[in-house]
Amino acid sequence: MFLFWLGANSQTKEPLLNDFLLSKEFGKIKGQVRALGEVDLTRSRVTYVEEDKAKPVLNIAITNGTVVKAVLEAVAIPKTIVNVLPDDARYAMQMIYYDQYDINTKTGTIKMVDLNYDGYTSGQLQVANGEVKEFLTYPMPEATKAKYAGLKKISEINPGARKPHFCDKNQNGNVGFGECLSCMQQACSGSTSCNAICTIVNMGSIVTGVPAQCTLSMGAACVVISIMY
């Protein structure tokens, strides 16, 4: 077991969090986590999309001392769906970096990184005093797309069973982080109070125990949309 390095606050009775921390997927990114700090499970949470217990999102707090440096978000891939992520990963994962964001002043840069697809940056927020000044989204690099072109699409595994999600612009049955973030950016254009944006800004408040203004981060929504539609 590797739990010795997770930190003093590494105990949890939440089986979904324990299963993830013992997974091969988490094992592959332990180095990135260690570079930021340590896992703090007392600040970690399991949230549910649309309050549906069948759609859990794991929010793993990574701290350095008392400061939240990042939130690792993960969603389990259903066992019936195989080879839709690199290395047939059983979790879709992204890291939301708060290491350049001050939770107290709600000012700084928040960066979102796709951990499944070679760690490319899928989005970035510039925030000042809790107000989003700039929201940038980035599509998956063409080289990365080409590298993983052989992966299956959910629409191929279960054709005709689901209608394309509104963010699935190319209607291939999968929604990537970049595609989803770009879609949500358009939906929230001109509205800094949009739930998707304000939650990701306040995610740091969630993991530090301060009530946030919103219920689910845009990043987590993107992870879920990527596999649920």
Q: Tens digit of pLDDT for each residue in 56-83? A: 889 899 999 988 899 898 988 888 778 8
Q: How far apart are CA 42 and CA 45, in angstroms?
A: 8
Q: CA-CA distance, 59 to 45, in Å (whole number)?
A: 5
Q: Report how far residue 122's alpha carbon sits from residue 86's, in angstroms, rounded to the nearest whole number.
A: 17
- If you compute the radius of gyration of the chain from its CA atoms, what whole number of angstroms results? 17
Instruction: Tell me what pLDDT residue 126 has.
Output: 86
* Residue 165 CB partners (closer than 8 Å, separation 6+): 175, 225, 229
pLDDT for res 31: 94
**Phi/psi of residue 91, nearest 5 degrees:** -135, 135
The stretches of the chain forming alpha helices (DSSP H) are 15-21, 24-28, 30-36, 142-147, 154-157, 177-187, 195-207, 218-228
What is d(CA 69, CA 148) in angstroms, rounded to the nearest whole number? 30
| pLDDT of 35 above 90 | yes
* Percent over 70 (pLDDT), the chain: 61
Answer whether 6's CB lies under 8 Å from 21's CB: yes
The runs of H, that is alpha helices, within 22-70 are: 24-28, 30-36
Residue 147 identity = K
Of 15, 167, 152, 140, which Cα lies nearest the Cα of 76? 15
User: In the prediction, which pLDDT does 62 show?
Assistant: 94
115: its two tokens:
């951990």
Interval 144-149 mean pLDDT:
88
If one compares 131 and 214, the residue with the highest pLDDT of the two is 131
Please tell me the distance from the alpha carbon of residue 99 to that of residue 61, in angstroms, as a whole number: 12
Q: What is the pTM of this model?
A: 0.79
Neighbouring CB atoms inside 10 A of 162's CB total 13
The predicted structure's pLDDT at residue 110? 87
Give the residue with greater pLDDT, 100 vs 10. 100
Return the pLDDT at 172. Answer: 56
Give me the residues paired with residue 137 across strands. 123
Query: In the structure, what pLDDT confidence band is assigned to residue 215 with cuts at 50, 70 and 90?
Result: very low
pLDDT value of residue 222: 61
Phi and psi, residue 47, nearest 5°: -110, 165
Average model confidence (pLDDT) across the chain: 75
Does residue 101 have a pLDDT over 50? Answer: yes
